Amino acid sequence: MPELPEVETIVRGLARDVRGLRIEAVTVLRPDLIEGEAGEFERGAARARIGTVERRAKNIVFHLEENAPDDRLIVNLGMTGRLLVMDPASEEPAHLGVRFQLEGGRVLLYQDVRRFGRLQLLSSEAWEARSSALGYEPLDAAFTPTALYELARSSRVAIKSWLMDQRRVVGVGNIYASEALFRARISPRKAARRLTRAEATRLHQAIVEVLTEAIEFRGTTLLDYRDSAGEKGDFSRRLRVYGREGEPCVVCGSPIVRIVQGGRSTFYCRVCQRSR
């Protein structure tokens, strides 16, 4: 469910609210959410102090300090995962997966209806090895129009599916892939290797712009997404094609169509995104 802007919003909230706090106890209520053994996870995270909280791709990375055999806690939210910071008095939500009791009384809760998310403790070395297999961070300076063009040249996959592959460029999921391609006026069905330089340049700019704007609006809430304070994102109203099947294109007025690529819905304008 959460793509780069949503994860970034969550990370900023966590950095503000839980950084520096000690974890006093950990309870795993749904062991299938834990990569590895749940008891080991509980013991490994308990009594650690939370340091820096950062984002890599769609992963939330907690640096653990003091009393932590593994010094990274990695959380991937899957489709419906949430990390919520709550006051001790508040009622715990349904589908609670993991409870972190924090110094000062508040709790950090991992909640996940569909349980596609995963939590994992790793050494910094093991995490770095995993991270190195991931693609460009789209908001880093190293991600350039040329980098995008060169990478795309090696793949015959449709550009929409290509964008969602985290080994090339990270953070773009089903919503922002459709949105970026609309902004770049490129057909989602076009083979990645057939992008022209001009198209690659437009797509690069569209990815950066749509992700940056979505972060400013604190993400997109369609159904499930909430930030760490339980708040919805406001970018939903700014979506131009995603979820708008049959509605008029904001540019040319022709109806937005929905197709299926790799088992996922793609939304686009047949007129504005003609190039194939």
Partner DNA sequence: AGTGTATCCTGCAGGC
Partner DNA sequence: TGCCTGCAGGATACAC
Side-chain half-sphere CA neighbours of 204 within 13 A: 21
Work out the widest C-alpha separation in the chain, in whole angstroms.
60
3 is catalytic: yes
2 is catalytic: yes
CB of 49 to DNA, least distance (A): 27
- β-bridge mates for residue 257, sequence order: 268
In the bound state with DNA, the residue whose beta carbon lies nearer, of 236 and 275, is 236
55 is catalytic: no
Cβ count near 14 (within 10 Å) = 24
CB of 266 to DNA, least distance (A): 9
In the bound state with DNA, the residue whose beta carbon lies nearer, of 90 and 154, is 154
Q: How far apart are CA 273 and CA 50, in angstroms?
A: 46
The pattern of x and - marking residues 194 through 233 that bind DNA according to CB under 7 A reads --------------------------xxxxxx--------
Q: What sign does the CA torsion over 232, 238, 242, 248 have?
A: positive
Query: 188 CB contacts (<8 Å, ≥6 apart)?
Result: 158, 159, 160, 177, 178, 181, 259, 261, 266, 268, 273
* Binders in 160-189 for DNA, by CB under 7 A: 161, 164, 166, 173-175
Paired tokens of 1: 């469910």
**Span near DNA by CB under 7 A; candidates 46-54, 148-156, 179-187, 198-206:** 148-156
For binding to DNA (CB under 7 A), which residues are involved? 1-3, 6, 32, 57-59, 76, 78-80, 94-95, 113-116, 154-158, 161, 164, 166, 173-175, 220-225, 243, 262-265
**Which positions are annotated as active-site residues?**
2-3, 58, 264
